[in-house]
Chain A
């Protein structure tokens, strides 16, 4: 080990700010100043805060910098690393680091899923192992029977983080009980919910945690083959997962007779080809089989009839990432976090007009207000919060009256605020609900796979009406028609896509009814957003 360590936060978001370029420059500068033997450079995953530039930390001095240009890097090398004088002008103030530094975190932040992110080099299996990586696998294989693994997951109360919140242990149990010559474990890494990028950061920052969990799951349910289905556009995730799988094979955690236990498990990556509906579990299975990703009729469900018709566990990336820690520390440890009905933590993506955009992991039960003001630092430019989208495109639109609702898997049923995939999209007064509703329904119209009529036609009609409204040609009865569409589509559609469009549509219509009414018979958009006579460019293909 070299005496000085520089950590640079490199992930898909910081890369946009030049992170790669800064790392290259840093390496060159160390060479130039002859510091190569005394300074280690480590690219780690996300350190949480993006809005201030690329985060670069110098240890053991424990100084955190926000770097915006190569000139900044040069300064840090020539001043701090060479002469030992921290560059005060680039330092990130302590209080703004709450999101970033583990040991200084505020009490509310708990890192289970993100524990390694920004701490280890995701491309190094050794560093993962050094943080108790693959210990849970060892424990499961040698100290626990498959039923005990399932019992522990059930007891922990872990629920699926992909949006629906189904109890994970139960799903595993159903699959374990099914009799078949072959079973599968599938990881849903098709993250397509606009605003969500947590799965991407987990795969980029700590790929082994997902792999370890899938092997444990395979052992528990009696499956010997796994697939990780990753969104095709997630190049960084694909690279890191593929490297991690290769290393896991080399170390004997994957393949034949794992660690001499007699249990064998193989893992393969499949790339998505760009269809939101493929995130739906049965559509995803169709896609792995090489077909169009159209959802299957349920029941039967994947635990009995999944991939190639065989019993299959399918879980989200974040769900899996919880598993090794639960196995290691036990169900009771996990249950101390979160709420009774929804134990554990949730990773939220804070986006939109908040000051600190990025991801944060907090116990279930956190409120939207805390997420926006405490973790997100409030709104940019001190503007007023006007509307929040929670849970993703299939989630809810709420006004400021619902900010204190605690978020967990019952908060939609109880208070009309969805937790979904964990998006918190804060919008200031410069948005217009009609315009946002139109954008949302255009998304569903485009992503509807067309297999069933209510969803295909319902989304098309909703877009037509909203488009008319946003041009200033709305009628009073349109509001009722939109409600009708929402309800019919929800009731009559085949899969979760059509079945959930009522959630965004009704929530925005109900919570912002006044704004919709104000568009009718007006000469201009009351919020100055919709362009009343603008020809609409129809968006055809989305990749």
Chain B
């Protein structure tokens, strides 16, 4: 318990420093939320309240913004997020079968993390790499192009051990 608490405090301190460093005004709310999600992994009610207080805006406004944008999540996601593009260019090349295969192999529903918290699978819109359709993005930067369902197990294996 002790441990968790201090980690939590450390994270809030990090957020606080960021807010101070950019001299945050209400129009910077989205940047602050982006940073907070990077720090905490997701935006819990406590984190949202904290930001509302820091920027001096109503918590309901923060909540409205958080739920509006796809990027923000109010529940934990997997350490490794697998994003499968279902944009039209990918879709017509069989992206839905790739998406289903990920869900099957991991035994999860979309958006929900696996039991061990390692993975979550997300359907996303065009990633701007359409000439390589179908496209999968693992984490923030690892792109896989011309995906076939058979390539799915290998990709999962590669990220089994990765720590967020």
Contact = CB atoms under 8 A, between A and B. Distances in A.
B126 interface: yes
A541 to B, nearest CB: 6
A432 to B, nearest CB: 10
Interface in B63-96: 64-65, 68-73, 83, 86-89, 91-93
B65 A291 contact: yes
Nearest to A357: B131
Contacts of A446: 125
Given A273-B34, A274-B70, A436-B88, A193 B129 contact: no
Contacts of B131: 13, 50-51, 197, 349-351, 357-358
Interface stretch (A156-164, A178-186, A226-234): A226-234
Interface residues of A, number: 61
Q: Which of B73, B132, B135 has the most CB of A within 10 A?
A: B132
A192 B126 contact: yes
Contacts, number: 156
Given A16-B145, A235-B140, A443 B125 contact: yes
Interface residues of B, number: 49
A351 B143 contact: no
Contacts of B135: 16
Contact of A195 (B26, B64, B88): B88
A2 B141 CA distance: 33
Interface in A1-42: 12-13, 15-17
Contacts of B122: 541-543
Interface stretch (A76-84, A128-136, A205-213, A282-290): A282-290
A197 B110 contact: no
Nearest to B55: A290
A274 B69 contact: yes
A541 B109 CA distance: 12
Interface residues of chain A: helix, strand, loop or mixed (majority): loop
B126 A193 contact: yes
Contacts of B133: 351-352
A194 B89 contact: yes
A233 B70 contact: no
Contact of B110 (A196, A431, A537): A537
B132 to A, nearest CB: 5
Contacts of A436: 88, 91-92
Contact of B111 (A196, A233, A540): A540
Given A16-B145, A352-B89, A440-B88, A541 B129 contact: no
Contact of A194 (B61, B71, B126, B132): B126
Given A197-B130, A235-B140, A425-B89, A290 B30 contact: yes
A349 B125 contact: no
Interface string B6-44: 000000000000000000001111110110000000000
Interface of B: 26-31, 33-34, 61, 64-65, 68-73, 83, 86-89, 91-93, 99-100, 103, 110-111, 122-133, 135, 137, 140-141, 143-145
Interface of A: 12-13, 15-17, 50-51, 191-197, 200, 231-235, 270-271, 273-276, 287-294, 308, 349-353, 357-358, 389, 393, 423, 425, 427, 431, 436, 439-440, 443, 446-447, 449, 537, 539-543
